[in-house]
A and B are shown apart, each in its own frame.
Chain A
Amino acid sequence: MDNPTFNVLDGLDQRRAGLHFAPIRHHSPACAWAVARMIDEIRPAHVLIEAPADLERHIPDLLDRATRPPVAIAVLLDRDAESRVSAYYPFCAHSPELIALIHGAKVGAKLRMIDLPSPRMEALHHTPPGRIAPLLNEKPFDGGTYIAALARRTGCRDGFELWDHLFETRLGTADWRAFFQAVGTYCAGMRAAAPRDDGAAPENLAREAHMAACIRTALKAGGPVVVVAGGFHVPALVDPGNPPDVPIREPIGTAQSYLIRYGFAAMDALSGYAAGLPQPAYYDDLWHAALARNGAPPWSDTALDLVSGFAQKMRRDGNAISLPAQTEMLRVADRLARMRGRPGALRHDLIDAALTALVKGETSHAEVWTERLLTFLRGNALGEVPPSAGSPPLVEDARRRAKAVRLDISDGMRRRRTLDIRRKASHLAASRFLHAMMLLEIGFASRDAGPDFVNGMRTDLLFEEWTYAWSPAVEARLVEAAVLGDDVPGACLGLLKRLRVEMAQTGESRDLDLLTTLFCRGLLAGLGAKLASFVATLADEIRIHGAFEAVAGCLRRLQHLSLSKGPMAIPDILDVTGLRDAAYHRMVYLCDDLPNTDPDAIDARVEALRMVLDILRGPGGETLDHTLFDDAIDRVARADPPPEILGAVLAICVQSGRQPADALVAAMVGNFHGSLPQIHDRIGVLRGLLAAVPSLLWIVSGLMEALDAFLCDLPEDDFIALLPHLRLALTVLNPRETDRVAQILAARHGGHGVSYLAETGFDEADLGRGLAAEQAVRASIAADGLADWLLEVPEETQ
């Protein structure tokens, strides 16, 4: 085979054999147009399209009168109980495959999908669990030496512009044969120049072998047969009697599929995976313009409509475009198209024109007007599917649950609901459902007010206020979330699992705070006993965690959880008390790290020590073994820790009576008079003491005296330098405690606390002298003729 191109071209239209090929690019209106003409003329007995064979059962729904594109067939493949991936096969109004089905049905053809069934697709095997697998792969259209050379020769910047330049300009042509010959030539060149990895990849060969087998079957059943397939594959299919001998992968797992509403935004996001042309709203406009004209779209009118539509949208968004700028944009687009040899402005001409006409100044690579235009050309349309299409189990489950808890989802209205979560079981159930939907981040509901159990804020509140709305976008997001599970709790669990994997990948798996937050959110979502495996993970992480303060923080949250009732009540099966004990034991173990605390971590650790003290003294603290902590603290006190830690642990020991008060006084005095380079280092013990047990300052005799003596002896400069640090250390005292300290200190100096707060040595005679002095100054100013300037109040400020 010297020149594969000629063989392909001969093979496209095999009239004698009754076999006709339409090489296409996905979502190309020009291809869709030619496919329609082709089927109308040939009136085939079979129309075969490149789509996974197991999706064939959706053809009746796709052709249903109630179906309005964009729609997609969503595939959920369970590779095993733990690993599910999803894939989408989208159809818009200008998809050649959908047009082939519609026109095929019109001429009474049998309609078939001929690609490998989805469980055998390579792409679905390699995709990580919980992710979207690419079903359509058009990478060769956008890269490769052939496309690059052709783009260079035609002055196009990439494969997309080249495709539009060569083929979308022929939208509306009646000569479908010439059109497909041109596409065939293009694709044959592309395939011949493709690296071996693309063309002869086992995945492609397996798919092509399957398609060839389906073509043979159709031919046997009787022609004519029309095959609508991606241009890259057609060169391998024109001789279906001679298929490559390749092994086809055994199906792994089971696939379920659903016809769902789809959106242009999601389609455009898929095009990021090289699956069809981007900015679907633009091509949709071209398609409808061609349909209205029953031929080539009126290019200049279409460009005018697009530019003025864009300007209207921008005006609504508060970014109005002036009329001269619109005119200039249209002119530039039109002249660019003419210079580039096109019948009218194409997508890239419009993008260029926006850049030229709308941007005044220097641009960066992410230019805002270009982004706005691309978003406009992408569109936001959502499709419709007939009720018979059904929907993925997750969507059905969410609907059922919403109705069960009496949330009105009959329309897209935004509604408010107040839930009495502590007294009414039905309201608690609704709250759990709404929390679950919020966890899934599908934009269904938001909590406006109420207790925040996750962060421990205002947990005493009785009511939750919610706003919710069931929109098509919510449904679309739920379909996307279907990859996580078949029902709402299952999807929530799947999400938690995925987040945990992601945390491990980003090195955050040791983040106890985040893990506990996720656990709390799971509890709020009503996952209850299903969180058992999460509890096990959390326990494992606690047992190996190395930071005292993190474990102490976790201990506090677990203590709260183990005591909580109502919405955060823990099901018996979840051993949160055991988890709390694990955190307590780990915290005790990590106490021995305290003497070697890094200077940066000192504040956090002193704070953590106080937290532990609160836990032990607080409700439920009696169930923890205090002696473990006491022993650990004693060890720390003996191990010469940094002054702050020493102050805190001694305070704890003195308070529990295991150390004499003198030890604390001695430590503080020693610190006050230590030989330390920075003056503020000398109040470390005091800071630790204040942070842990501030009341000891006035309870333990000798402490206040030592502090007072230290401050009195301090030279003035050192005192000024120390003042901000002292103030910071004393901020832990509440106003009443501050007052108390002030009273004691004032008494030591023979006064009363209040006497130091305000200046009281001021009498009537002083006031008289002050007024007389002011009079004299005013008189002097007036005598100098400066009264207007210095004494009069200007009129405008009166």
Chain B
Amino acid sequence: MVDVQREAAEQRYAAELARLSEGDADPRPRGWVLSPRAVRRFVLGDDALEVSQKFFGDDALVDRCIVSLLGQQGLMLVGEPGTAKSLLSELLAAGISGDSRLVVQGSAGVLEDHLRYGWNYALLLAEGPSERALIPSPVLSAMRNGKIARIEELTRCAPEVQDAMISLLSERTVAIPELGAGVEDRAALGFNVIGTANLRDLGVNEMSSALKRRFNFETVHPIADAAFEKTLIARQLQDRVADHPVNADMGDDVLDVLVQVFRDLRTGRTSEGATVAQPKSVMSTAEAVNVAHAATLNAAYLDGGTVNADHVARQLRGVVFKDDPEDARKLRTYADTIARSRGRSSRAWATFYKSVKDGLDG
């Protein structure tokens, strides 16, 4: 048995789901494995049942998502990359249907078949169209079983493929004429769709207004509270390095530098109110965790010591400021104006400043 890198949410949190289900006295909509309130507790945590909090920053958003999925509208999660849209979609599917694996990964290569059904051509040729030869898409499976279907990055699909979603969401049925006149699969109670989309990225397709009307939109914002973001990054970093047999500590001052740099560059404004040129690169919390993770591993495996701001700066250059010269210029300006002055009163900032300068100019 091989250890998988990442289990599905319903497997990872199977014990929590079982506890929630056991103590769930609230009314449960038909087709749902938990009541709406229990789903909320699954996502936002419940100390009494030892259910961990998995999504942070906006409780009311979670309420709205759950209520959207109770109705006839699909749920569309939008927002900057790295704001945990996919995580939220997975958690909601796991909580509501006990199954987060009915996923279509949106891309330019997705065809309408991926949203409806396809065929096992060997069987099709041998037997003709039959239920056995039919390969249901994750969406059709979700309809048949009354579960939540997830469509990741819907706007990356071609417009005509997106259009297929319109009738699926309004009629809630898939006709299969190949199996005979009038054969169709009507959605069982509990079926709904969660989409995630990035509306601002380059290379995405605009959603038609007909499709937009069939979704309730929820914007997932970056975490507003700086202190909370710091705690969250520290916690997630701990989880990630737990799998590694090494010891590496990221000091509080270094973590501060990391969080501040990300926040300053993301919002275009420092906590003191100075304006900062925003890079095009994604400066999300998730990306901050990636940088912290990489910096920690770098220090632990290669430098054999504690993580310092130099590691952070190096990863930041490599991971975030990949090869856009304009972004590099913005980082240099940030180092010259903000990091340098902070460096006068903080060693970590001074290290960060030096490392950025050396890296960019050297």
Contacts and interface: CB of A to CB of B under 8 A. Distances in A.
B271 interface: no
Contacts of A353: 64
Interface in A671-707: none
Interface in A455-477: none
Nearest to B62: A155
B50 interface: no
A356 B68 contact: yes
Nearest to A363: B219
B67 interface: yes
A149 to B, nearest CB: 12
A126 interface: no
A353 B78 CA distance: 17
Interface in A129-184: 155, 157
Contact of A365 (B37, B199, B221): B221
A362 B64 contact: no
A357 B216 contact: yes
Contacts of A332: 64, 67-68, 71, 216
Give the most central of B60, B68, B221: most A CB within 10 Å: B60
A360 B206 CA distance: 12
B321 to A, nearest CB: 25
Interface string A337-370: 0011000000010001101110111110100000
A328 B63 contact: no
A598 B147 CA distance: 74
Given A155-B40, A336-B63, A360 B219 contact: no
B132 interface: no
Nearest to A341: B37
Contacts of B63: 155, 336, 339-340, 352
A314 to B, nearest CB: 17
A216 interface: no
A498 interface: no
Contacts of A336: 63-64, 67
B66 A339 contact: yes
Given A335-B71, A360-B213, A355 B64 contact: yes
Contacts of A340: 63
Nearest to A332: B67
A348 B212 contact: no
Contacts of B44: 155
A328 B216 contact: yes
Contact of A361 (B36, B59, B70, B199): B199
Interface in A547-599: none
A693 to B, nearest CB: 46
Nearest to B27: A338
A331 interface: yes
B60 A331 contact: no
Contacts of B5: none
Contacts of B36: 335, 339
B79 interface: yes
A334 to B, nearest CB: 9
Contacts of A339: 36-37, 40, 63, 66-67
B345 interface: no
Nearest to A157: B60
B59 A356 contact: no
Contacts of A157: 59-60
A328 B71 contact: yes
A294 to B, nearest CB: 31
A361 B221 contact: no
A328 B199 CA distance: 23
B79 A362 contact: yes
B227 to A, nearest CB: 13
Interface in A195-217: none
Nearest to B211: A360
Interface residues of A, number: 22
Contacts of B40: 155, 339
A768 B64 CA distance: 82
Nearest to A339: B36
B67 A356 contact: yes
Given A336-B67, A339-B36, A361-B199, A348 B216 contact: no
Interface string B48-91: 00000000000110011011101101000011000000000000
Contacts of B73: 328
B282 to A, nearest CB: 15
B218 interface: yes
B200 interface: yes
B64 A361 contact: no
Given A157-B59, A339-B63, A356-B64, A361 B212 contact: yes
A331 B59 CA distance: 19
A360 B60 CA distance: 18
Interface string B188-232: 000000000001100000000100110111110100000000000
Interface string B160-203: 00000000000000000000000000000000000000011000
A363 B221 CA distance: 9
Give the most central of B78, B215, B217: most A CB within 10 Å: B217
A157 B216 CA distance: 21
Nearest to A334: B67
A324 B214 CA distance: 10
A597 to B, nearest CB: 32
Given A339-B40, A339-B67, A362 B60 contact: no
Contacts of A357: 216
Nearest to B78: A362
A348 to B, nearest CB: 7
Contacts of A348: 60
Contacts of B219: 359, 362-363
Contacts of A360: 209, 212-213, 215, 217
A336 B67 CA distance: 6
A355 B199 CA distance: 17
A104 to B, nearest CB: 40
A524 B301 CA distance: 79
Nearest to A151: B59
A363 B60 CA distance: 15
A356 B199 contact: no
Contact of B70 (A155, A324, A335): A335
A271 to B, nearest CB: 21
A71 B79 CA distance: 44
A355 B65 CA distance: 11
Interface string A10-25: 0000000000000000
Contacts of A359: 217, 219
A120 to B, nearest CB: 38
Interface string A770-798: 00000000000000000000000000000
B20 to A, nearest CB: 15
A312 B70 CA distance: 27
Contacts of A155: 40, 44, 59, 63
Nearest to A333: B67
B140 to A, nearest CB: 26
B60 A356 contact: no
A356 B69 CA distance: 11
Given A157-B59, A157-B60, A348-B60, A362 B70 contact: no
Contacts of A356: 64, 67-68, 216-218
Contacts of A355: 64, 218
A332 B60 CA distance: 12
A357 B213 CA distance: 9
Nearest to B35: A339
23 contacts: A155-B40, A155-B44, A328-B216, A331-B71, A332-B216, A335-B36, A335-B67, A336-B67, A339-B66, A339-B67, A340-B63, A348-B60, A352-B60, A352-B64, A353-B64, A356-B64, A356-B67, A360-B213, A360-B215, A361-B199, A361-B217, A362-B199, A362-B219
Given A339-B63, A361-B78, 16 more contacts: A157-B60, A328-B73, A332-B216, A339-B66, A340-B63, A348-B60, A352-B64, A353-B64, A355-B218, A356-B64, A359-B219, A360-B213, A360-B215, A361-B212, A362-B78, A365-B221
Closest 4 CB pairs of A and B: A335-B67, A363-B219, A360-B212, A362-B78
